[in-house]
Chain A
Amino acid sequence: MTISLDKELASGRRGPDRLAPPGAKARRLPSRLRGVDWVAYAYVLPSGVLLGVFGLWPVAFGFWISLWQWGIVPERFVGLGNYAHIFGSDLVDHDASGHLQAGPVGQALLNTIYYTVATVGASVALAFVIAYLLFRVRALRNLLRTLFFLPYATTITASGLVFVWIFDPQLGVANAVLRALGLPAQTWLLDPTPIGRKLLAPIGLSPGLPDALLGPSVALCVVIVFSVWNTLGFSVMIYLSGLSALPRELMDAADIDGAAGWRKVRHVVLPLVSPTTLFLLVYTTAMSFKAFTPIYALTQGGFGGGNGVQRAGGPLGTTNVLTIEIFNDFYQEQNKVGYASAVSFLLLAVLMLLTLLQFRLLGRRTHYA
């Protein structure tokens, strides 16, 4: 049993162990001889207990809640009723004329996917470019490195306030710049127009597709820009440590072979950092999929909210990602706690599926020297 497990570990066919650097192989033989390290359980115990109690137990508890019609207190056991509701009409719905359209949860899922794909794609790609350039450059290296990392060192709620202020339609500096350039001012975080329609409009195109399929709204795009700005430093840092851990000989050999510029990046550097890339993709996907604070901070309606109840997720629900949907159901309409728990299990299921897919699809392209 243990031996077959170990074989799987070493072959790296599945799971996060594929990220293991070459040195990992070295430990195999001696450890088999030594047998089981019973003391290991003591090492794992503190983390295990805390993760169990504060990570896994809430999930079990949450699943229990999702089987109930649950307000502030449990009201009625409904079994899978909440899930039936989600898959019945909240995910995909028919409009009055019988056409398919996204229900509220379906729209939130789509927003989440837009947000995740754009944020992860932009931030990982930009991070690689910046990290590689930082790695090559000599002058100003330390200063630049610090500057790129700074946004990550800020509080999201505080820097969110700054972005709301910068992108204010009336008083913001973003529109001041546009006006100075002779371009039309935008409403930014208040604009529900999908970016596809927005970009095609100036050249006279108006596709007949529903808004939901024409990309994220302008508002969600601003949120994406904010998230990329905020997390880029982290990805750059991870890439830099990945790059500086690469064997110098290989890089130098590539230089001597005359592999320069793009060819060198494509055939030498990218394959060498592919474990880092896989890790970043998986990690930032999970983080974006369950991101809450950046969206909340930018869409709850300016400083201190508006009259009465102002909800995050606007305009027209185009920034309403799954976590915002869950939060609003949990704390704004407290009679929907059971339902919100069921939605969070949908989120969990989709995210796990995504992670698995990433390992399956990208793992094959990951090179271990």
Chain B
Amino acid sequence: MPDPQRFRHRLRATLPLVVLVPGAAVMIFPFVWMLLSSLKSGAEVSHLPPTLWPHKFQFSNYATTWRTPPQTFGRYYLNSFILAAGGTLLKAVIATLAAYAFAHMRFPGRRLLFAAFLATMMIPGEVTLIPNFVTIRHLPFIGGNDGSGYGGHGLYDTYLGMILPSAADAFSIFLLRQAFLSIPADYWEAARLDGCGRLRYLWSVALPMVRPALAVVVVLSTFEYWNSLLWPLVVTNSEAIRPVQVGILYLQGEFNSQPNLIMAAAALSILPMLALYLLAQRQFRESVAYSGLRG
């Protein structure tokens, strides 16, 4: 006879699984189906009724997909990695600075400025494409341009040109500001009395305390840069610096009657992010847990 109280407790802790496990299965089904389809032969993938498990695993689909676009996927991966890492670093640094100022500094126009920042979240990206292209090409004193922004290419066809327009992001600033707000101002007063500078304090005291929010910003920003498609396509001319999504775009046209190869292409563009998330999730989870302990 089990202890009824303990039993009830156990039940309460495991009952959610009845909902969560099927839910999780639904969430990952598209991935499973993508991977299974990507390993089927051309005949099997369109077979009716569909087979679940491939009769024969056709790993050569991945080899075909890897080398079909103008550059191999290795190069696209490297470019996407440069974009994601560079863009995220830049975004994290400038968002942290601004968020800290909005949270803990007083200056005239703060409200107005913050509202203006938030307003940029509401602008649809399709509209900013052409104006931003004009701006990127006509940045003065850059890429051979003169002081009035003419004569050269600006940041056109460069990594920085792909990164810069989305480097400042109101959402990241908002998220970090919320986190900074929860740090009592006394901390800074104490640090100041000890002769600590603003940046020093920010780096060694405040930043560690907002690690969860920072982790969220880093993860979201990495995904965002990894997923960008239209802007990199428009603002580059050299295949050598283009990211992986552009490579997928070619394959979509090339493989339009071969779902198995399309699924392999989809898998190739998704898997690195999944791997990154799986690798980083420990760190990620610890950060979230850290904030939980503090609360």
Contacts and interface: CB of A to CB of B under 8 A. Distances in A.
Q: Do chains A and B touch in the complex (CB under 8 A)?
A: yes
Interface of A: 1-2, 5-6, 8-9, 15-16, 19-24, 26-27, 30-32, 34-41, 43-44, 46-51, 53-59, 61-62, 129-130, 133-134, 136-140, 142, 144-159, 161-163, 165-166, 170-173, 176, 179-180, 229, 232-234, 237-238, 240-241, 243-248, 279, 283, 286, 289-290, 292-293, 302-305, 322-323, 326-327, 330, 337, 340-341, 344, 347-348, 351-352, 355
Given A161-B266, A162-B263, 8 more contacts: A34-B106, A39-B198, A55-B123, A137-B14, A159-B266, A162-B30, A176-B50, A245-B292
10 contacts: A19-B178, A23-B182, A39-B198, A51-B120, A54-B165, A157-B249, A161-B265, A244-B288, A290-B125, A344-B124
Interface of B: 12-14, 16-17, 19-21, 23-24, 27-28, 30-31, 33-34, 37, 46, 48-50, 93-95, 97-98, 100-102, 104-108, 110-111, 113-128, 130-132, 134-135, 164-168, 170-171, 173-174, 178, 181-186, 189, 198, 212, 216, 220, 223, 226-227, 229, 245, 248-249, 252-257, 259, 262-263, 265-267, 269-270, 273-274, 276-278, 281, 285, 288-289, 291-292, 294-295
Contacts of A152: 223
Contacts, number: 319
A15 B105 contact: no
A151 to B, nearest CB: 6
Given A30-B189, A51-B170, A155-B269, A150 B106 contact: no
A165 B267 CA distance: 14
Contacts of A59: 123, 127-128
B106 to A, nearest CB: 5
A237 B17 contact: no
A100 B60 CA distance: 58
A46 B97 contact: yes
B44 to A, nearest CB: 11
A158 B27 contact: no
Contacts of B227: 155-157
Given A44-B98, A150-B274, A157-B229, A36 B117 contact: no
Contact of B50 (A30, A171, A355): A171
Contact of B94 (A46, A58, A129, A145): A46
Greatest chain B CB density within 10 A among A9, A150, A156, A176 is at A150
Contacts of B16: 133-134, 136-137
A40 B198 CA distance: 10
Contact of A40 (B30, B106, B277): B106
A163 B288 contact: no
Given A35-B106, A46-B168, A150 B263 contact: no
